[in-house]
Chain A
Amino acid sequence: MIECKNISYSYQDFQLNEIKVLEDISFQIEKNEKVLLLGINGSGKSTLLKLLNGLIYPKKGEYLFEKNLVNKSYLKKNSKTFRKNVSLQMQDPSAMLFNPTVYDEIAFGLKHFGFDNIEDRVHHYAKTFSIESILNSATTALSGGQKQKVLLASLLCIEPEVLLLDEPTAHLDPPTTGWLVEFLESLDITAIVSTHNISLGRELAQRAIVIGANHKIVFDGAIDALLEDMPTLIKAQLVHQHKHAHDKVEHKHYHLHSWN
């Protein structure tokens, strides 16, 4: 369904320096596969998700969606279908919310992509995300976690085929994180979820793609295999070490568990 062939991406910063973000990225993702995209901050995860959402184009290499080369002219012709089928939740949810109330926000995509029974659908998704009580609130007045839920409801209600999530648990408290992981697991959808929290992994997906600090793919395979591959985890800086005690013996070794 999704295929990346030797994709590289770089951009110019405000001082006109060329900044490398992705290098020689290749992978394929099948329909209804769920993939965890791992890497430290600044490794290029967000950029890769934007590329897959057709918001930016690779400097080198090709991105194919259902065997179609995604570029400017493809999107010009197929904008509406592509935008309906591939949904991205950006790292900062407030950059994607622009309607007066939560109700309007969820209804926006439904109206835009020509759904019927809009009111029923809005209420259904509001119930799923437990945001019924804030349907009439202004989106600007919400907390980070509420914004995240409103955005996810607004994206999922248009029933996309591919869901791209950029650090979806960043604004969520532990119980909501747990709920979201379970919810995503239950969906029949192709999903690529970026995170640096490897502990989300096993429940959410079977496969992991790891981007290293060098902006290249350093691992692509089963999460279980990744968890046993300590050299790769250390190389991708996905584990940490700190002093602690087991049976009163203080020592230091690499850890997998997340800090939160």
Chain B
Amino acid sequence: MHIPDGFISPQTYIPATAISAVLLARAYKKIDLDVEKVPFIAGVSALSFVMMLIVIPFPGGTTMHLSGVAIISLLFGPWVSFSAISLVLLIQALIFGEGGITSYPVNILAIAFVGSFSAHYAYKILLRFSQNIALFFAGWASIFFSSALVALVLGIQPIIASVGETPLYFPFGLSVTIPSVVIPHIFLGIVEGLVTLSGVKFLKKQFKSVFDA
């Protein structure tokens, strides 16, 4: 779901950079980041990085990559999750070439911020019904809302940055991006929701001393 370089206009990524800078500064304060906490953030980042490499089998023989954003957010809190995943996306963009540098601010807003916080709030709101439902929808929401923002940002490119009818960046409008990006993610979200449900429950039991404190 990472957007590569060349598809997002400066008209989009410059304001997106400003917004993500403000949010990251806020995260820095919220976490109260100092040298002592650095190894922990480094660890959570590495964990998210590796979770994104885990392959989940899909009915019908295909596979998908886990996102893990919801698991990280529910276990470590949305601000830690947002910071760690932003760091992961930077390293992915610069070193592994996954996701571009100009699309980096949009990617962190969609995947790291919206992903972490939609999981966090979905869990909080639905917890009154049942923990299982809350965990499942936290996972689902982290995928669904991220993809919705990606579809929105891609889809407005032809509207805000074209010369006449000729697109300069991503060429398709909202009528194409919303169905083609969002609809598959409704289903991918189900798998993510199931993995989040079993993963969080299992890890909380395994690591009582870390997550019950």
Contacts and interface: CB of A to CB of B under 8 A. Distances in A.
Contacts of B209: 12-16
Interface string B84-109: 00000000000000000000000000
Interface string A11-27: 01111100000000000
A105 to B, nearest CB: 16
Interface size grouping (class) on chain B: under 10
Q: What's the dominant secondary structure at chain B's contact region? A: helix
User: Lowest 5 CB-CB distances: which A-B pairs, in order?
Assistant: A14-B207, A14-B209, A16-B208, A16-B209, A12-B209
Contacts of A12: 209
Q: What's the dominant secondary structure at chain A's contact region? A: loop
B210 interface: yes
A15 B210 CA distance: 9
Interface in B162-213: 206-210
Contacts of A16: 208-209
Q: Among A13, A14, A15, find the residue whose CB has the most chain B CB atoms closer than 10 A.
A: A14
Nearest to A15: B208
A16 B209 CA distance: 6
B44 to A, nearest CB: 16
Interface in A7-55: 12-16
B156 to A, nearest CB: 39
Interface of A: 12-16
Interface in B10-48: none
A15 B207 CA distance: 6
B196 to A, nearest CB: 20
5 contacts: A13-B209, A14-B209, A15-B206, A15-B208, A16-B209
Q: Among B206, B209, B210, find the residue whose CB has the most chain A CB atoms closer than 10 A.
A: B209
Nearest to B208: A16
A137 B206 CA distance: 39
Contacts of B208: 14-16
Given A14-B208, A15-B208, A15-B209, 5 more contacts: A12-B209, A13-B209, A14-B210, A15-B206, A16-B208
Contacts of A13: 209
B95 to A, nearest CB: 11
A16 B210 CA distance: 10
A15 B206 CA distance: 6
Contacts of B210: 14
A13 B208 CA distance: 9
A12 B209 CA distance: 8
Nearest to B207: A14
A126 to B, nearest CB: 26
A80 B206 CA distance: 38
Interface in B137-163: none
Nearest to B211: A14
A26 B207 CA distance: 33
A206 to B, nearest CB: 38
Interface string B50-84: 00000000000000000000000000000000000
B36 to A, nearest CB: 13
A15 B205 CA distance: 8
B206 to A, nearest CB: 6
Nearest to A12: B209
A254 to B, nearest CB: 40
A23 to B, nearest CB: 22
Nearest to B35: A98
B75 to A, nearest CB: 13
Nearest to A98: B38
Q: Among B206, B208, B210, find the residue whose CB has the most chain A CB atoms closer than 10 A.
A: B208
A23 B128 CA distance: 48
Contacts of A15: 206, 208-209
A14 B212 CA distance: 10
